[in-house]
Structure 1
Amino acid sequence: MATSIWEEESHEFKLQSLTDDMVTSAEEMFGITFLDAYLAILKEQNGGRILYNAFPHSMAPVQYDAFIPVDHIKGIGLQNGILDNAYFLNEWDMPEGLILFSGDGHTWLAMDYRNIVSNPPIVYVDNEAEQITQVAGSFDEFLTKLSIEQSDACEEDGDAVEEYSEQDLERFIQQNKCDELVMALVHLSYTDVDVKWFGKRLQELSVHPSEVVRIEVARIIWGMTHQLEDPTLNRLLAHFEKDLESDVQLFADLIKEKMNYPFEKLREDVELTGMESFSYQGEIYHVNEHSNLWHLSDYQTDFQSYPTVGDLLENATINGKLLKEIWSQVKKV
């Protein structure tokens, strides 16, 4: 394995630099002690895309032959970090005690703290098969076994991982190259793409003949619900709800949950998990608890703090307006 596991380029999962206070707050929230090996790589870079794409194991999905795909590791933070763990456990009905550090919903890699508070093994979670399997005895072991593999699909094209432009996606749509189309969609969803342009392309592809393309479109829309305007989302949902593919319909339900997130549910969720995130007018905010206070935060700072979650929900403001007053314009992240 290389000295550093991280790719140099910026990525969706790359978060602000890790501090000791962030580690302490996260450990208090989860009630556990993080693995030294995990903290060591996060002190170099707090999450992001890694130089490897595979973890060899017999439990790998059939399409990947003998390895579990893994191309990123989550750092410690709210959006796209492990602090959104409770949301994914709830959405995919996974047991408490798993801390998910890489995955996409159907499958995950996780630190298994279900029965211990330190030195957990690493498990592979297959939600479709409803199986949780230990794949490494420690995070150190997991890191040492990471490798670079080519799937059969990549070998047919003669290339490994590639970067794609907006022009490439347009070309693949015109040429109806499904494999390249899906890879370009995934790549662009992780970049600083023109959201309005990307939304239009996703609308076109939401009725594509290939179920693989439609599922990927639905998954991407679920991930970027907070970035899209309601008219665009409603048009997409109209397509998804008519789709006969169950995975597309599942993502449609998840998108609707994000769009219609009741204020009353916010309180239930933050009291249960200790944090929640939402978007308002293009900005992302977080309600979270640490240092014995409840905070309303943006990406960089806790800009309002209260002794209880009730006080925060009653009195916190954004741009001079109470949360209740703006909630009809909010989307869950």
Structure 2
Amino acid sequence: MNFNDLWENKMDALDSFDYETIAIVEEKLQLKLPADYVNLMKIQNGGYLRKDTFKMKDEEITVEELYGISANEEKGILTTIEMREEWELPEDIILLSGDGHTWVFLDYRKNHVCPSVSYIDLELEIDHVLATNFTDFIDGLYEDDSLEVIEFESEEVYTEEEFERIVEEADSPFALTDGVLYFTEVDCVMAWLVTQVNRIMDIDNEESEFVLPEVLYYLLNRISEIDLNDEVREALDLLGHKVKEHKIIEVRKYYKRIKEIIEW
């Protein structure tokens, strides 16, 4: 099993467990945990992943975290019990990661002894086997390098008052993205710009899945180059909370980068 640089950090891991905890978990789930999963959780009991991308056919899916082992039904893989009922998921599964609409899980539907790892998208009605076992799944994870810096230039010039109005009206995807890009190119109060991006994160329309990741890309490329004062850190921390809980996967991918910038 390849777990080099697998985890983003240790802060989000659950407390360590013992064999009694495993017995409780297996009894509640009525399924036996695969040894390779248990062995990985002994090294680190879940958390956010640095290698968070998996190739599925011609697409890439994001696996933000792996759930750890805990006897608490509100933590780790035992949340499967509530989630199976809430989201009408199959019974013979143990959730490893997910956000409500998409899930990665140990799949016991065809084999109660050696589960595969599968992916389900409830909205798109996708139910696909990712790997025949947990080890192959972990070995297939890799770090997405699509967030590498690419140079762009804005096409328009904006005043702060104009851009605040653009954000308020939220009806021009071009002006939203181009405006953020413009203010990353000029001298401006960075806390003000982060605040505008915070407001943009609240926009929910058909263009959001394209606009919001692009706005974050421009902002974070710029902000990673400067020294942060307390005001910027506070605004950035608020942004991080919004990004972490956002319903759009491509937005949530930026949470780790925001944390890195704040902690640097």
- CA separation in 1, counterparts of 2:107 and 2:24? 19
Distance 1:180 1:140, change over 3 A: same
Query: Paired residue for 1:3?
Result: 4
> Distance in 2 between the 1:123 and 1:133 partners?
6
| Residues 31, 117 of structure 1: 8 Å contact kept | no
1:22 maps to 2:47: no
Amino acid at match of 2:61: I
Task: Give runs of ≥4 in structure 1 deviating > 6 Å.
Answer: 174-177, 180-184
Residue number in structure 2 paired with 1:178:
212
User: 1:173–1:80: structure 2 CA closer, same or farther, 3 Å change rule?
Assistant: same
Write out per-residue CA displacement over residues 61-99 of structure 1, whole angstroms, 9 at most, x where no aligned residue.
Answer: xxxx63211121001123341111021112221111111
Match of 1:33 in 2: 32
Task: Quote the residue 1:98 is aligned against.
Answer: 93
Unaligned runs of 5+ in 1: 59-64, 159-166, 185-192, 206-212, 221-333
Correspondent of 2:132 among 108, 129, 137: 137
SS in structure 2 opposite 1:178? Answer: helix
Paired position in structure 2 for 1:120: 115
Give the structure with the larger strand fraction: 1
User: Aligned with 1:125: secondary structure?
Assistant: strand
- 1:8 partner letter: N
Percent identity of equivalent pairs: 27
Cα distance in 2, alignment partners of residues 18 and 129 from structure 1: 36
- Counterpart check, 1:67 vs 2:54: no
Contact 2:9/2:47, CA 8 A, preserved across alignment: no
SS of aligned partner of 1:109: strand
Instruction: Specify the code of the residue in structure 1 equivalent to 2:112.
Output: V
- Does the 8 Å contact 2:197/2:216 carry over to 1? no
How far does the alpha carbon of each residue in 1:15-38 deviate from its partner, in whole angstroms, 9 at most, with x for none? 111211111111111222211110
TM-score by length of 2: 0.57
Q: 1:69 to 1:21 in 2, by over 3 A?
A: same
CA distance in 2, matches of 1:214, 1:31: 32
Structure 1 counterpart SS, 2:39: helix
Letter in 1 for 2:197: F
Q: Is the 8 A contact 1:136 1:142 kept in 2?
A: yes
Cα distance change on mapping 1:4 and 1:173 into 2, 3 Å: closer
2:226 paired residue number? none
Q: Contact 2:29–2:81 (CA<8 Å) still a contact in 1? A: no
Deviation (angstroms), 1:198: 5.2
CA contact (8 A) 1:34 1:119 kept: no
Structure 2 unaligned blocks of 5 or more: 152-190, 202-210, 220-232, 253-264
Partner of 2:69: 76
Number of equivalenced pairs: 181
Matched, 1:150 2:150: no
- Listed one character per residue, the Cα deviations across residues 271-319 of structure 1 (whole Å, up to 9, x for unaligned) are xxxxxxxxxxxxxxxxxxxxxxxxxxxxxxxxxxxxxxxxxxxxxxxxx
Q: Equivalents in 2 of 1:149, 1:89: separation in Å?
A: 29
Letter paired with 1:172? V
1:214–1:147 CA distance, 2 compared to 1 (3 A): closer
Distance in structure 2 (CA, Å) of the matches to 1:175 and 1:112: 38
Q: Report the alpha carbon displacement of residue 178 of structure 1 after superposing the two structures with TM.
A: 3.0
Counterpart for residue 82 of structure 2: 87
> What TM-score results when the alignment is normalised by the length of structure 1?
0.46
Instruction: Give the conservation status (yes or no) of the 8 Å contact 1:173–1:181.
Output: no
